Amino acid sequence: MNNNIYSLQEDRVIDYYINSPGVSKAKKQALRSIKSALLSDFRVYKLLGQLGQFHQVASKISTISESDSSTLELLYGSYLSKSGVRKDIFSNELICPGCQYSYATLRSTLDHFLPSSNYPNFYVFPLNLIPTCGDCNRIKNDVIPMSKNDNLPHPYFDKKLFNKHWLKIEISQVSPLKYSFNVRDELSTNDIYKVLNHLISYELEDTLFVHVDSIFEQNDEDLKDIFDTCGERGVREYILMLKQGSYISPASENFVPLNLEYAFFDALYQSDWFCNQYYMD
């Protein structure tokens, strides 16, 4: 994540609209009248984001009228791009933080982390706009945290969490191969809730199984051949090579917390049963 997102002027889109020719004086004045309240709401957002307490936002921000909400929606639809803010936001992210699989490009969508249908205050607030693939944006939709344990990980505020591996895979001692997903033990309780909420909100469980099944299918035949010729030691060495090859450093811009290849090969490597017995006739 590029830190430039924090340097974006909070009211840049608002000021661009106010200073744009062709906008009626009445609309400019209406926006000026709520600008101070919006800036206060933005400060609340940043504070709660730093604390991981977005469930408290509803009680701490101003009330937006339907008319002002429509104006802010117009700013998002027509002036976010014109002001250059949309392009600047997309320059901060390469991969969709939802599925962590699809690329987030200018052709992708912007997800309102706190949904605009409930919080129009943040329609054009840069820190509420997350580059997201269309599928993830549609699936997440209007998820709202109602309690501390409902919060999702925020790509801009939970950078430490987004620089950690989230999942571990546990191999069951049955054939054909079966496995299960779990959250890594080293994560804090609060972070575990966030990761689980992320998986649920983006409906990722089935997708995770599909991807891991595909990874295994791509390597199953080679692993069997190696077991038949080199035994357990050869299998373990080959899996270690795959595990090391799939590792991505958290310092890399390509790192994603849901690195399924690394989690799966690590699980196979740690499973004495798989390395010793899975391919026995």
Give the integer Cα–Cα distance in Å for 35 and 126: 15
Strand ranges, E, within the chain? 109-112, 129-132, 167-172, 178-183
Q: What is the pLDDT of residue 206?
A: 95
pLDDT at res. 1: 46
Length of the chain measured in residues: 281
pLDDT value of residue 253: 84
What's the first-to-final CA gap in the chain, in angstroms?
48
pLDDT score for 168: 97
Q: Name the token pair of 57.
A: 């936002």
Residue 49 confidence (pLDDT): 97
Q: Which residues contact 265 (CB under 8 A, 6 or more apart)?
A: 239, 242, 243, 246
CA–CA distances in Å: residue 177 to residues 121, 126, 174, 180, 217: 49, 45, 6, 11, 11
Percentages helix, strand, coil for the chain (3-state, rounded to 5) are 55, 10, 35
Residue ranges of the chain whose pLDDT lies below 50 = 1-2
CA distance 173 to 114: 42
Q: Is the pTM of this model over 0.85?
A: yes
Q: Render pLDDT for 164-191 as a digit per residue (tens, 0 to 9).
A: 999 999 999 999 999 999 999 999 999 9
Backbone angles phi, psi at 110, to 5 degrees: -110, 125
